[in-house]
Amino acid sequence: MPELEIKRMKEKMEKGVEHLKKELLGIRTGRAHPALVSDIKVDYYGTQTPMSQLGTISTPDARQIVITPWDKTAVKAVEKAIQASSLGINPSVDGENIRLNIPELTGERRVELSKLVKKFSEETRVAIRNLRRDSNDVFRKMEKDGSLSEDSMHDFLESIQKTTDEHIKKIDEIMVVKEKEILED
């Protein structure tokens, strides 16, 4: 049971870190990346469908994203979804392709995006710490019930803290890389 609790906690922490990575992919760095648009929801025949399920998203160069919908009738819907998104980029349609030219980021916008990265990172850290607290509570309860010795409980709490520290370190590393990407472009 204790090993199962630690395994469950580690899995949840990993999911938290993966979620942070996915969130940060959607933050524009002045460089084109398919993840900037892949999760934008398009009203496709009355269903909110992620852009990645409607066509091919490619980056022919560092400042351009090209979206080629498989269904040519979806071009207008895709264009509309991009305009309504928080990207702040106006798409240009050339036949059956939609082109997004990624403009250079201003210094002010870079600082805003950097703050956003820090905010997402801190939210993930808080989630990791909450998982640590929940697992600690489980082990303390087990010790109180007599199903775990005090020494074993302390060993498990130490293991939980070590795992938490590793995940916080991963989050910090991811944050530093993304901030550097944003501020240096």
Separation of alpha carbons 105 and 110, rounded Å = 6
What does the domain layout of the chain look like in residue ranges?
A: 2-25+106-184, 35-101
Separation of alpha carbons 28 and 40, rounded Å = 14
pLDDT surpassing 70 at residue 30: no
What's phi and psi for 54, nearest 5 deg?
Answer: -105, -15
3-state secondary structure the chain: CHHHHHHHHHHHHHHHHHHHHHHHHCCCCCCCCCHHHHCCEEEECCEEEEHHHCEEEEEEECCEEEEEECCHHHHHHHHHHHHHCCCCCCCEEECCEEEEECCCCCHHHHHHHHHHHHHHHHHHHHHHHHHHHHHHHHHHHHHHHCCCCHHHHHHHHHHHHHHHHHHHHHHHHHHHHHHHHHHHC
Q: Does the model's pTM come out above 0.75? A: no
Q: Quick: pLDDT tens for 49-101.
A: 888 888 888 888 888 889 888 888 888 888 888 888 877 778 888 888 888 88
Domains 2-25+106-184 and 35-101 share a fold: no
Q: Fold for domain 2-25+106-184?
A: Topoisomerase I; Chain A, domain 4 (1.10.132)
Was domain 35-101 assigned CATH 3.30.1360.40?
Answer: yes
pLDDT class of 185 with cuts at 50, 70, 90: low
Token digits of residue 82: 């991009």
Share of the chain above pLDDT 70, in %: 98
Query: What pLDDT score was predicted for residue 24?
Result: 84
* Residue 170 CB partners (closer than 8 Å, separation 6+): 17
Radius of gyration of the chain (CA): 22
Separation of alpha carbons 95 and 136, rounded Å = 58
